[in-house]
Structure 1
Amino acid sequence: MNLSLFPTEPTFRDRLAARLRALAAEGIYVGTSSWKYPGWLDQVYTPERYFTRGRFSQKKFESECLSEFSEIFPTVCGDFTFYQFPSPEYWQRLFASAQPSLQFAFKVPEEITVREWPTHLRYGARGGLENESFLNADLFQSAFLGALEPYRNRVGVLVFEFGMLPKRHYGDVEPFAADLDAFLEKLPPGWRYSVEIRNREFFDERYFRVLRSRNVAHVFNSWTRMPELRNQLAEPAAQTADFLVARAQLKPGRTFEQAVEKFQPYREIQEEYPPAREGLKEILERAHKQNTLSFLFVSNRLEGNAPGTIAAVTGAEEE
């Protein structure tokens, strides 16, 4: 037996996993937006686990890496659901591929939250047309919640992400708040719901009042056209539920496309953004002091490498 006289230093992965486990034990779940990033190999992921016949297999990596991810992170936000209503078979495969302890957040499909279809090639002939399924509670329940029901205890929170809503549909926060209230009223209990807005002008007491009345969380978000995280946190009325949700995606002023071009393949932090880090730390402190169940998610598009950002914010770098 070859025993070293000197203990080995914990790896980045080990330090991060230990810190995130400790936070999760307090009910503070910190994770990333999505997980299938080859750029995280040798940082989060072990390349050899995805070898087939002595070579790295992208297919094996994409189908199996969630299991290794959940050995480190206690939660993850599934952004993919924004673009589809997953089938029962898909849900079964997904949940079977992760450790049972992993808590998921899922974006609700855009079929529910898009008022007018973007004029983008992906939307084909629908581009520019109004979405007839906007805020359709029956469709949400039958096509999304129904298939997800068997895994309810593994779903930490659901996110209704509303992209920029044009003034021709909502000239003011009042009609949006009224439509949102009517929609939320129809939703079944037993799930944690949260709302993420992209219209800066909707960050208003009338919007907060609707969420508060339904115990629905406002998602504190760092995004292109939204106020800084700390500015959102400075508004007491913005904490609208008995749980907290935050998503740090983009530096204000930077578009998604610009961030992708600048940061991919997301191997390392390329540009620290202190205001977002300070905001995330403030949320962690608030969650700890209030003993509040919390879900915080960080995107690669914020600084270039979400695990690195999370390590810095949670103190895992120092352990």
Structure 2
Amino acid sequence: MSQFDLFGSPEDPKSPPAGQVGKGASSPDTGKPRRAARGTPGAAPHDPSLVALGAALPAQVLLGTSSWSFPGWRGIVWDDDYSDAKLSRQGLTAYAAHPVLRCVGIDRSFYSPLSIAEYQKYAEQVPRDFRFLVKAPSLVTDAVVRGEKGEGVSENPCFLDARIAAEQFVTPCLAGLGPNAGVLVFQVSPLPFTLLRDVPALIDRLDAFFAALPPLPGAAGGGGPGPCYALEIRDGALLTPRLMRMLGQHGVRYCLGLHARMPSAERQAAALALLDEAGAGPLVVRWSLHSGHRYEQAKAKYAPFDKIVDPDPATRDVIAALAGHYARAGHPVFVIVNNKAEGSSPLSCQALAEAITR
């Protein structure tokens, strides 16, 4: 993965309305590859119906994509062809101009901690009411040290180390993003059997971890919600009432991780309802992968991410219903969609907005 592939996703061409095929990455006149445009990335023209859709979407509903550095979004998000490197550095202003994209996921931080200056460069490109969902470094969320192919090599001594999490993630993230910090997500990677065979003990470790994290600031002036912590898991065995009670005690939100490894959206929503018995809060959803595919399979099938390839209306409807429920109750809603959910995350967000406002 290159240093500019911020979220582990490839590139893309372009598209109009949800589900429609956009133009490819070659010139319609010559069939030859287009040259990347020079200058700062600009926003694609927005159809009046898309502008109206953004205006109709409740203010507390923040939809966004997992990364933004995809050239294939030409005509959907970007006005021209730009390299992924240019988009990763300078594309957020154009991204934030899209009528329904009000947040974005930073996955780059999962692979290596970011500095205050790096977070600041992101925040400087977006309006004050825009929000970032940021993944904590795997340094503290993966129980094993992994090799180049993802295989477990050894036990990770930094797993669930709250001091390291605070110093290398929470503090620089909040200092750099300021009021644009939205959700700080601790995505616990797939766990080894040695830990899963004693789920109560593992939940106790998570309990101690969240208890030791620094408290988060409240909402700052300028509109929008203050930051919150969230936990995402990749092992269904952890999805228990005990886990929900523990999260409720610390005010940590459960992030619905829609992924082939996890139970259905409906089952995770039922677990979330149990968490809300301790007091409801923001809805946090990461729609990462189409249920019928593995990561690499979806990546190969959906690139260049310029159209919806495999519509998943059932999952979309569950997310839309949850978003509407939380928004009506006055709670912030954060939904991050990956290109590998349906084929093109901006178009999935548009379809979600249509379902929410229907």
Report if TM-score (shorter chain) is over 0.5. yes
Q: By how many angstroms is 1:303 displaced?
A: 0.5
Write the distance in 1 (CA, Å) between the matches of 2:356 and 2:229.
32
Q: By how many angstroms is 1:107 displaced?
A: 0.3
Q: By how many angstroms is 1:20 displaced?
A: 3.7
1:103 correspondence with 2:131: yes
Match of 2:170 in 1: 145
Is the partner of 1:179 in helix, strand or coil? helix
Instruction: Tell me: CA distance 1:58–1:225, structure 2 relative to 1, closer, same or farther (3 Å).
Output: closer
1:220 correspondence with 2:264: no
- In the superposition, the TM-score normalised over structure 2's length comes to 0.77
Is the partner of 1:266 in helix, strand or coil? coil
Write the distance in 1 (CA, Å) between the matches of 2:107 and 2:329.
28
Match of 2:115 in 1: 87
1:35 correspondence with 2:44: no
Write the distance in 2 (CA, Å) between the matches of 1:13 and 1:111.
43
1:248 correspondence with 2:287: yes
Write the distance in 2 (CA, Å) between the matches of 1:139 and 1:21.
41
Corresponding letter in the other structure for 1:199:
D
Query: Could you say which structure has the higher helix fraction?
Result: 1
Match of 2:308 in 1: 269
Match of 1:156 in 2: 182
Q: By how many angstroms is 1:169 displaced?
A: 2.0
Write the distance in 2 (CA, Å) between the matches of 1:314 and 1:164.
31
**Residue among 102, 105, 114 paired with 1:77:** 105
Write the distance in 1 (CA, Å) between the matches of 2:294 and 2:186.
20
1:211 correspondence with 2:221: no
Q: Deviations over 1:241-267 (max 9, x none)?
A: 511101111122522111111111101
Comparing 150-159 with 258-267, which one deviates more in the overlay? 150-159
Match of 1:179 in 2: 205
1:237 correspondence with 2:263: no
Write the distance in 1 (CA, Å) between the matches of 2:146 and 2:77.
35
CA contact (8 A) 2:68 2:87 kept: no
Instruction: Tell me: CA distance 1:238–1:259, structure 2 relative to 1, closer, same or farther (3 Å).
Output: farther
Write the distance in 2 (CA, Å) between the matches of 1:269 and 1:317.
18
Write the distance in 2 (CA, Å) between the matches of 1:145 and 1:18.
36
Q: By how many angstroms is 1:289 displaced?
A: 2.8
Q: By how many angstroms is 1:297 displaced?
A: 1.0
Write the distance in 2 (CA, Å) between the matches of 1:129 and 1:85.
20
Instruction: Tell me: CA distance 1:147–1:171, structure 2 relative to 1, closer, same or farther (3 Å).
Output: same
Match of 2:53 in 1: 19
Corresponding letter in the other structure for 1:256:
Y
Corresponding letter in the other structure for 1:159:
V
Q: Deviations over 1:270-292 (max 9, x none)?
A: 11112211211111221133221
**Residue among 134, 140, 146 paired with 1:112:** 140
Is the partner of 2:91 in helix, strand or coil? helix
Q: By how many angstroms is 1:199 displaced?
A: 0.6
Instruction: Tell me: CA distance 1:15–1:107, structure 2 relative to 1, closer, same or farther (3 Å).
Output: farther
Write the distance in 2 (CA, Å) between the matches of 1:232 and 1:59.
36
5+ residue gaps, structure 2, are 1-43, 217-226
Q: What is the root-mean-square deviation in Å for CA atoms of aligned residues? A: 2.5
Instruction: Tell me: CA distance 1:20–1:283, structure 2 relative to 1, closer, same or farther (3 Å).
Output: farther
CA contact (8 A) 1:29 1:296 kept: yes
- In the superposition, the TM-score normalised over structure 1's length comes to 0.86
Q: Deviations over 1:81-133 (max 9, x none)?
A: 1011112221222222333332111001100100012343478xxx5111111
CA contact (8 A) 1:298 1:309 kept: yes
CA contact (8 A) 2:109 2:137 kept: yes
Instruction: Tell me: CA distance 1:230–1:186, structure 2 relative to 1, closer, same or farther (3 Å).
Output: same
CA contact (8 A) 1:15 1:316 kept: no
Instruction: Tell me: CA distance 1:119–1:58, structure 2 relative to 1, closer, same or farther (3 Å).
Output: closer
Instruction: Tell me: CA distance 1:18–1:82, structure 2 relative to 1, closer, same or farther (3 Å).
Output: farther
Match of 1:283 in 2: 322
Paired residues, what number?
Answer: 300
Match of 2:33 in 1: none
Instruction: Tell me: CA distance 1:39–1:310, structure 2 relative to 1, closer, same or farther (3 Å).
Output: same
5+ residue gaps, structure 1, are 1-9, 51-55
Match of 1:134 in 2: 159
Corresponding letter in the other structure for 1:92:
Q
Write the distance in 2 (CA, Å) between the matches of 1:198 and 1:220.
10
Match of 2:345 in 1: 306
Write the distance in 1 (CA, Å) between the matches of 2:78 and 2:214.
38
Q: Deviations over 1:48-98 (max 9, x none)?
A: xx6xxxxx5554333221110011221111111101111222122222233
Q: By how many angstroms is 1:13 displaced?
A: 5.5
